[in-house]
A and B are shown apart, each in its own frame.
Chain A
Amino acid sequence: MTVGKDVSALFPDVVNCMQTDNLELKKLVYLYLMNYAKSQPDMAIMAVNTFVKDCEDPNPLIRALAVRTMGCIRVDKITEYLCEPLRKCLKDEDPYVRKTAAVCVAKLHDINAQLVEDQGFLDTLKDLISDSNPMVVANAVAALSEIAESHPSSNLLDLNPQSINKLLTALNECTEWGQIFILDCLANYTPKDDREAQSICERVTPRLSHANSAVVLSAVKVLMKFMEMLSKDLDYYGTLLKKLAPPLVTLLSAEPELQYVALRNINLIVQKRPEILKHEMKVFFVKYNDPIYVKLEKLDIMIRLASQANIAQVLAELKEYATEVDVDFVRKAVRAIGRCAIKVEQSAERCVSTLLDLIQTKVNYVVQEAIVVIKDIFRKYPNKYESVIATLCENLDSLDEPEARAAMIWIVGEYAERIDNADELLESFLEGFHDESTQVQLQLLTAIVKLFLKKPTETQELVQQVLSLATQDSDNPDLRDRGYIYWRLLSTDPVAAKEVVLAEKPLISEETDLIEPTLLDELICYIGTLASVYHKPPSAFVEGGRGVVHKSLPPRTASSESTESPETAPAGAPSGEQPDVIPTQGDLLGDLLNLDLGPPVSGPPLATTSVQMGAVDLLGGGLDSLIGGPNFVAPPAAAVPANLGASMGSGLSDLFDLTSGVGTLSGSYVVPKAVWLPAMKAKGLEISGTFTRQVGSISMDLQLTNKALQVMTDFAIQFNRNSFGLAPAAPLQVHAPLSPNQTVEISLPLNTVGSVMKMEPLNNLQVAVKNNIDVFYFSTLYPLHILFVEDGKMEAVSSRLQGSNIFTVAKRNVEAQDMLYQSLKLTNGIWVLAELRIQPGNPSFTVRLPAPALPALGCLLPCAGQPLLPSLLPRAGVSLMGALAQLGWGPSEPDVNEHQNSEPSFQLSPIRLPR
């Protein structure tokens, strides 16, 4: 068998040997079974009996061995028979057997997931998390994590403070591998306040001195994540920062492979919290026999840590590296010197002189690389170091790489007026124009035009030549277009040309390759995983089919503020469900019509989210998406959200208090702001917002946050056609450019005179927002009550309901049930009538539209601020959608009221009053 011969023919004979007491023989037979069971599934069934018997052996080690082997036999037929023994072993008195059985569940899940779920093994596994033996806990966590990975939605590892406590206790006592599983699992938990976060951190910190580097890094992940919740003025915060540095440094003295992974992670940590390692620069100095992958990473971190305090040391090192043997490394070192110059202004002078020294070495690739970075230095500090140009020009002939040539040409063009022979230099480049790469060609074209604008007299011929080369003899459209633009500019208005071509250039940023803050935050949650090695979120490389839950850092909250208003909390809170974002397309703004990307027909998806509502901790996240949805809670805006936030977590009963407390107030309810467009999908622009109705006018309250690194300007907004003709009544006005990390609040007035198209669901609104970066699309659901007009009143019965423009038609009592008949009118003139049945003592109410076949119109009541209907809240929007869809937008019936908009699709069947 081990030499590759097929001995499956011996199957029956081997199976006969199974019932031996000789352990060695037993192991061999098991090994044989694992290899050949797949090819002889029928025969393998013969082995089942022995397994069952072995699972009841008095020796726990035999039981464990049997259960372990069982899981390795990947034959469907057998797995069914193995459920019983496995169940027994999961409840075995011996921890060693339980621990082995836990892993076996994961094996079985891999073979037949359905079976595992049907047999209830998952629940047993969850129970094992609270096992008394730490190794069992660790293995149960490991098995659950593996199963959860293939079922991202299943919420298998549902953590609460009790189970966290269990895990933390087990953490101290289990094996190193178990500690990794437990720590990774802990990292997925979101503590409810900073006190809990701190106590978890305190118990995790000892893991930082573990000999196993994977344990250390997993502990670092937990600490980095939970630190986010701690207030910076806390003493403990400072202590924790200090404790993080030594273990990270120690990782760097391990084997090179470990170093590499550690360095990739340190790179993230340094970007997130540079203060941790700011004094440890020296450990990142490169040794000449480090593997190249370690060298490059160290270099990168050195630049990130460079500051005024240590720049002298860093520069001396970098200069040393620039004389090493490895070409890639040398190039990167030279480039690093340039980056230091840009980052630390005080050192620029030194850096430039170091670069000049390097150019003097005349080593070809060093010179080229140096010229490329000097170009960047010129950009950052214009008109400061022109004196070096002469030295650069000496090396003109040795440049053979496009990037270096382009950089040199840029320098010549930029400083044309100070270089006496600029025309000659550029002319020399022009000779081989067609052989150059596009980059060089474009640069050459621009440089010659610059030269012409600065010294028009002598260079007329040259510019003519380059323009004709670019426009007539080139098939590169970029080059041709640029050539034509310059040509036209120069021929029509040289002054304008001067303004355009010689315009002041925007500053270049200090650090070029920083990771976007939103991505960085996500990656911090993935420290120690493959994602952190690639610096990409798992969604970007994990194979399809396995949905990946986005992780994000917990928002900073103090325990005293745990009841803070959700209006501020959700801004940073992780959202369990992303709002619909229409994928960016190249189409123009108006071309939204063909996009049909709203959520599928009214019911299911929203219904499932709303079911969770009672249990969701508002601050813990997950709710903002719900709030963003059609969530018709009636109470007025100001007072309510605070209560709402506090009580939502504690369940249904509190909601009664909540709503009865505020139900007496009048006015229309405003849904708390929800994130409509996450920054990750919109190149750093985050939009959250809500809809309000105030004194007869509808408005959209937007909050725009710039989470990118560049300034955003030129905002504009546009809506797609929608069911009620909602359209912006005024352009989106963002007065000042939005600088990074700035937030601006805007209230955009809306009207309902836009063009109309039926949407699915009805209150779906597709929005396009443009800024100087790109156009972003997203869709949101607006609460219908903003469309309820004030003159919808039919008969005044309940003043409470009137607050939100829902009016009571009639009220009567049938069989000890209160029946309420409600009316409301939408902005486009649709009247809606509904029947509400209230049974005293029963918290759920039946709402229906009286016409047969019309489903419940539950939404109307909660949105009217009805204090008695908490349980209906979540469902509200959904059923209204369904109701209206069937109510008004179906094929026309004989007696049709033409809608005032006279859109053919807008037809409304009449509603008959009950009885």
Chain B
Amino acid sequence: MIHSLFLINSSGDIFLEKHWKSVVSRSVCDYFFEAQERATEAENVPPVIPTPHHYLLSVYRHKIFFVAVIQTEVPPLFVIEFLHRVVDTFQDYFGVCSEPVIKDNVVVVYEVLEEMLDNGFPLATESNILKELIKPPTILRTVVNTITGSTNVGDQLPTGQLSVVPWRRTGVKYTNNEAYFDVIEEIDAIIDKSGSTITAEIQGVIDACVKLTGMPDLTLSFMNPRLLDDVSFHPCVRFKRWESERILSFIPPDGNFRLLSYHVSAQNLVAIPVYVKHNISFRDSSSLGRFEITVGPKQTMGKTIEGVIVTSQMPKGVLNMSLTPSQGTHTFDPVTKMLSWDVGKINPQKLPSLKGTMSLQAGASKPDENPTINLQFKIQQLAISGLKVNRLDMYGEKYKPFKGIKYMTKAGKFQVRT
């Protein structure tokens, strides 16, 4: 099972280590550093690195490497999943997960890690149980702690661990009972030069924020459940009921959680809400290139596209760019060659465009590669797959909860090749 954990920052310092069994020397990370050196970028460090006596499994998130050390044959996905869970927990506790924040809260971090694993076996990974054991730091609590000398360790024991619904603590009480569900869909797509879709798929999630008193039992039904043929559920969802009736029935955890995630595959037709017209050309003879991009709405079901950001990694040969946007602001970093254009809202009457010239290295031949355009956008009030929630019912408790549902479509990895 998981032996140890090292946290390494991007400059290669081990700033935190935790051992659940015997202590493994830090020098084991040298193998990791070797691999890191070999990989040109931090993202490219291979996640599984063998060493003579151990295996190092790492994830890279928030500019920190989380390196787990294992000694025996352990499913690597198990370890990687766990590491992601650690990151999520830190984020949940401290708002952001960064080196300074972890260093500031090192005591809480150690306490949390101690509770998450026992001898390498996962112990409490549900955030509500952990929060009962160790209270997350807030400004108020920090102040109170400094004055009274108390700490974050909860004085109760995690009752949730004993129950059959470990994800929910007992005795929850709220004055306002409310349940909000967010249907968020991300489009991953690759669009080719001519504007036709090479591949497009939708990753959807339903995130919930449920603040209900007692032990409510919820059912959520959809207008078109047939869309959901590839789903993964939070453990609270009763799978049998879904299989037979296509209804989500569950006792919700308290607070924020991800109820389900789903995938609408490339085989279904996916509507593409935006198009990009581009004209990027280099000429062999001159050291100037032409650059022109226009973004416009495509299949948006009448909704506005907002928060559009266009980024593109320009070829190394590009020295500088002089561009004029019709709206929004743009920046070009001559060191990383990253062009970024914050467009904002798309007005269908007046399509935003970015035009200008690129100056190339004098005398150099024209670049081999074509830049790929990366697009980010948001569409409120729309689930692009067409998924719609029918109704939400509550059983088991007497009060009337306030219910809300929100739809949103975002760009995931939305790439346009030029």
Chain A residues with a Cβ under 8 A of chain B = 2, 23-24, 27, 31, 59-62, 68, 71-72, 74, 94-96, 100, 103-104, 106-107, 110, 139, 142, 146, 149, 172-173, 175-177, 180, 184, 206, 209-214, 216-218, 246-247, 249-250, 253, 255-258, 260-262, 279-280, 282-283, 285, 287-289, 291-293, 313, 316-317, 320, 323-325, 361, 363, 528-531, 533-534, 538, 541-543, 546
Contacts and interface: CB of A to CB of B under 8 A. Distances in A.
Contacts of A293: 44, 46-47
Contacts of A287: 188, 190, 413, 415
Interface in B40-77: 43-44, 46-48, 50, 53, 55, 57-61, 72-77
Contacts of B44: 291-293
Contacts of B59: 255, 257
A463 B200 CA distance: 59
B75 A180 contact: yes
Contacts of B413: 287, 289
Contacts of A534: 50
B43 A253 contact: no
B198 interface: yes
A756 B75 CA distance: 52
A528 B48 CA distance: 13
B162 A60 contact: yes
Interface of B: 1, 21-22, 39, 43-44, 46-48, 50, 53, 55, 57-61, 72-78, 80-82, 84, 106-107, 110, 114, 118-119, 121-122, 125, 151, 153, 155, 157-158, 161-162, 164, 166, 188, 190, 192, 198-199, 201, 203, 229-235, 239, 243, 258, 260-261, 263, 265-267, 313, 368-370, 372, 374, 413, 415, 417
Contacts of A217: 75, 77
Nearest to A69: B118
Given A23-B157, A530-B55, 17 more contacts: A172-B239, A175-B122, A177-B78, A212-B81, A253-B188, A253-B201, A257-B59, A258-B77, A261-B48, A283-B201, A287-B190, A289-B413, A289-B415, A291-B43, A316-B192, A323-B370, A546-B72
Given A24-B151, A260-B47, A541-B50, A249 B265 contact: yes
Given A211-B258, A282-B199, A175 B235 contact: yes
B263 A249 contact: yes
B75 A528 contact: yes
A184 B75 contact: yes
Contact of B73 (A62, A214, A285, A542): A542
Contacts of A541: 50
A260 B415 CA distance: 21
Given A285-B198, A317-B198, A324-B369, A218 B121 contact: no
Contacts of B263: 246, 249-250, 253
B239 A206 contact: yes
Nearest to B166: A175
Contacts of B164: 173
B76 A261 contact: yes
Contact of B232 (A216, A261, A283): A216
B81 A209 contact: no
Contact of B229 (A2, A246, A542): A246
Given A249-B265, A253-B203, A320 B417 contact: yes
Interface of B is mostly: mixed
Contacts of A546: 72
A449 B74 CA distance: 55
A649 B387 CA distance: 55
A475 to B, nearest CB: 34
Contacts of A324: 369
Contacts, number: 193
A149 B72 contact: yes
Nearest to B315: A325
Contacts of B43: 256, 291
Q: Which of B122, B203, B243 has the most CB of A within 10 A?
A: B122
Interface of A is mostly: helix
A261 B47 contact: yes
B119 A103 contact: yes
A343 B59 CA distance: 36
Contact of B53 (A24, A317, A543): A543
10 contacts: A175-B166, A177-B82, A209-B231, A210-B233, A214-B81, A256-B43, A258-B84, A260-B48, A293-B47, A529-B75
B232 A106 contact: no
Contacts of B417: 320
A652 B378 CA distance: 73
Contact of A177 (B48, B55, B122, B190): B122
A253 B231 CA distance: 12
B198 A246 contact: no
Nearest to B167: A175
A323 B73 contact: no
B33 to A, nearest CB: 17
Q: Which of B232, B266, B413 has the most CB of A within 10 A?
A: B232
Contacts of A212: 81
Contact of B158 (A31, A61, A323, A361): A61
Nearest to A546: B72
Contacts of B39: 292
Contacts of B265: 246, 249, 280, 283
B157 A68 contact: no
A546 B71 CA distance: 12
A547 to B, nearest CB: 13
Given A209-B231, A214-B78, A530-B55, A110 B21 contact: yes
A146 B166 CA distance: 25
B110 A180 contact: no
Q: Which of B50, B53, B74 has the most CB of A within 10 A?
A: B74
Contacts of B84: 255, 258
A33 to B, nearest CB: 13
Nearest to A38: B22
Contact of A261 (B77, B199, B234, B368): B77
Contacts of A104: 119
A887 to B, nearest CB: 48
Given A250-B232, A291-B44, A530-B74, A74 B22 contact: yes
A530 B234 contact: no
A363 B368 CA distance: 8
Contacts of B47: 256-257, 260-261, 293
Contacts of A283: 199, 201, 265-266
Given A210-B232, A212-B81, A177 B121 contact: yes
A451 B43 CA distance: 50
A797 to B, nearest CB: 59
A557 B313 CA distance: 56
A58 to B, nearest CB: 12
A175 B236 CA distance: 10
B256 to A, nearest CB: 15
A529 B73 contact: yes
A550 B84 CA distance: 32
A209 B232 contact: yes
